[in-house]
Structure 1
């Protein structure tokens, strides 16, 4: 093939299409954007392409200690072993991209008019501040426990597609088009709408190259626009460049935004799906549930494939496969032979959280190198976890035991599912009610006991002579604290309801029983 001047100017992550593979499906073969993605892969091919081995040099154990530590860090960071859920996520992304391009026809006459029409409609809806409809079924939601590999898995799935495709000719007709397959953005801290738009423009500039070999300059050209203008420009460029998928990671950062900022971004994403037709993949921890699930609840009920929940791994064959691959990252001079006991111990120490398992294994080897033992044992793994990851392990143990009073769980909403957050909330409410009831009723119980004692003993217990007091004065003093009386009544009611609930008795029955029989304090107060 003759040398191509366009190919010589393209970066390594871009591809200039000279030939289009036959996909064997009429819907896809008729569209150059879909055919540009390449042929459909089998499950075995997906697993092979997703996997990343550690790639250590053959003579790693002969290298100096300081070099081995660096090789270890790189190998641990690179390692990726796809799970069954990772393959399922790739399939969902793959199907979303191909179906997106079936509906996008930039090679047909009138595409430029269609871009302007959709952009105008998007702007009209946006300026009118209309509440967008529920999103159509072309979105994905990936949420779950931190450290389980959500973002890394999404990144690996996207890496199987060439980020930028340059088209010149299709079916004998000129077709100059720059295609951006997917754009991945991180939700800015504090949920800045402007920050999200500028990040999108910078990402286009990072990957796109003009015909003359120079970079595009969208960021500098549009950076002075207002927030609403930037949103419209972002939507228009996404359509103009055939963006197949928009990925928003760390969506929980929206929790730090003002209410108006949250509404703007969520409504904008839905508008992209409905009006512009760009599918959206949202990634975040459980902390964002209240924001995201409220917007996508109707779609999730009708589309089971649109929701992925990343949780700690089970101690099964997939975990053993992961630990075996991790075992190949040994840089110590006396490598340990893999055994089931190592897999079980590492699971108990990490709770099935891959990121924590990787850190424990890395720290165990670094300690072995520093102490010149050059070996990893069950004991050294346990010591590394206790020494280097005490907070992570403590949090996991408290979560496993559902110890909601543990301080480590008080501000970790990103690690708790909706059900667990509700349990934590109820536990905090019960503890607060009990504490308030004890604080309010304790003086009353003491007063009842003192009242039952003879006058001489009551005087002796106070340590001072009791002054005579007129009846009217005493009544007046009692009337000065109605707020305290209401607090006491409220505390008693809370205590009675809590005790009844603990004994399986409804609130109504507990109050009836209290009215029917005298309380303990009343009995003690009787002469």
Structure 2
């Protein structure tokens, strides 16, 4: 084991009674203030000066790539860092290695031991957002505020030899398969530890159930503080849904039984994963979802971001950012940060290649028309504001619209069940009426009979589903589902 890549534990009490006395928490960096977070995760590479703009066009072209390294912290970054800090620390409160319950819990046979005293304090955080809005970049910057691996040797004059993995990041396999996830976990753990020990456990032919048990045990062995699962939307593509359900169930088991905090990261296309099973939805909403949606044109954070990136201009005669330029940039990017960076980099390369001294709205449009053709459809869909067009690009749909669409679908699904229930009740009433003496008063049917059509479960596309249900008398206006 290559100890030189590990950070040696340095224990500093936090002042919080639920944290102090736990070496897994006291060894972590101090809890940061907002000002510290901005300073630590923000990144402003050197801006080009007149001397750099006078260099050969080939060299200036290389300078343009510095735009990719710019990180401008916003309020959402502060919230994300705060929740990640709480997620890791509170998750360790139930796994104090000095407590007997934790020692018993880490034993390979602990899954078979009932009543060993372990109680999970793991939470789940969900990070969702449009493709290209910088959610993965933000989370990577925040995770790197913590050493990934910490080596313990002695705590309060006691021998305490342990290796602690503070966080581990895994990307869901493109096909959403269980075997692919297991392989990714073992490889990621080996990379963090600087060894080649566990990757072979993902070899073909090994039992998936055994590999999942190994993953659970390794999470306990190395006191993994947070398991970050990126590209969660890939689970939607798993064949037949079998692997998807097994993997989601495994995540719940990791959180409940192994006490491992989870961070789900993905585009809005992953939201349906949590819409069908209550425990999955409950876990995903554990610390409240953090949504990276696109900026509106009048959002001051958008203006600030554009102004910061605009300073990285390698053309010969840079111009100040005007309202006209700002409006054109928004029209061509629709508030997507990845589209913004691409546009500014492409337009500068175009200007340098073509000998153009300054960036103008006309040049921006030319670059968009020619070099961003592949993005025209999603950008035009966003520009239209039409949910039906945006829905064609599932990972571009705003989070609130995606959730509203899921809720409307769920209302329609419930209405279908209500319709079936009403028809069943009508059939039961009809049978009971046929069996009763003719002198008894007849019961009024629950649904129309005879020539009157039965109620339909289909709805008009333009109207609210709840209103249509009220009109049909299927629900009361003041009642809840």
1:86-485 aligned at under 5 Å gives the runs: 86-108=77-99, 111-116=102-107, 119-121=110-112, 138-209=123-194, 215-220=195-200, 223=203, 225-258=206-239, 259-295=241-277, 296-299=280-283, 303=286, 305-314=287-296, 315-403=298-386, 409=390, 411-416=392-397, 417=399, 419=401
Q: CA deviation at 1:377?
A: 1.7
Contact 1:186 1:248 in 2 (8 A): yes
Q: Does 1:61 align with 2:53?
A: yes
Rounded to whole Å, the distance in 1 between the matches of 2:158 and 2:243 is 45
Q: Which residue of 2 aligns with 1:129?
A: none
Matches of 1:112 and 1:262 in 2, distance apart? Answer: 32
| Shift, 1:221, TM fit | 5.1
1:195 and 1:172 map into 2 onto residues whose CA distance is: 43
Q: Residue 441 of structure 1 corresponds to which residue in structure 2?
A: none
**Structure number with larger C-alpha Rg:** 1
- Whether the 8 Å contact between 1:121 and 1:275 is mirrored in structure 2 is no
Structure 1 residue 79 corresponds to structure 2 residue 70: yes
8 Å CA contact 2:268–2:402 kept in 1: the answer is no
Distance 1:86-1:293 versus aligned 2 partners, 3 A rule: farther
Change (3 A) 1:341 1:500: closer
User: Unaligned stretches of 5+ in structure 2?
Assistant: 115-119, 409-455, 472-481
**TM-score of the superposed pair, with normalisation by structure 2:** 0.77
- Give the Cα separation in 2 of the matches to 1:64 and 1:32: 55
Superposed CA deviations along residues 30-65 of structure 1, whole A, max 9, x for unmatched, are: 111111111111001111111011335664223321
Q: TM-score, normalised by structure 1?
A: 0.70
**Residues of 1 paired with 2:282 and 2:312: CA distance?**
45
CA distance in structure 2 between the aligned counterparts of 1:257 and 1:115, rounded to whole angstroms: 32
Partner of 2:431: none
1:413–1:421 Cα contact (<8 Å) kept: no
Contact 2:168 2:192 in 1 (8 A): no
Per-residue CA deviations over 1:304-362 (Å, capped at 9, x if unaligned) read: x4211210023322112211220222122222223444333322221110000111111
Paired residue for 1:518?
Answer: none
Deviation string 1:435-482 (CA, Å, 9 cap, x unpaired) is: xxxxxxxxxxxxxxxxxxxxxxxxxxxxxxxxxxxxxxxxxxxxxxxx
Q: Structure 1 stretches of 5 or more lacking a match?
A: 1-5, 125-134, 210-214, 427-493, 510-527
Distance 1:92-1:421 versus aligned 2 partners, 3 A rule: closer
Cα distance change, pair 394–374 in 1 and its aligned pair in 2 (3 A): same
Shift in Å, 1:102: 1.8
Matched residues in 2 for 1:90 and 1:352: separation?
Answer: 23
- Say which structure is richer in helix: 1
Residue aligned with 2:107, SS: helix
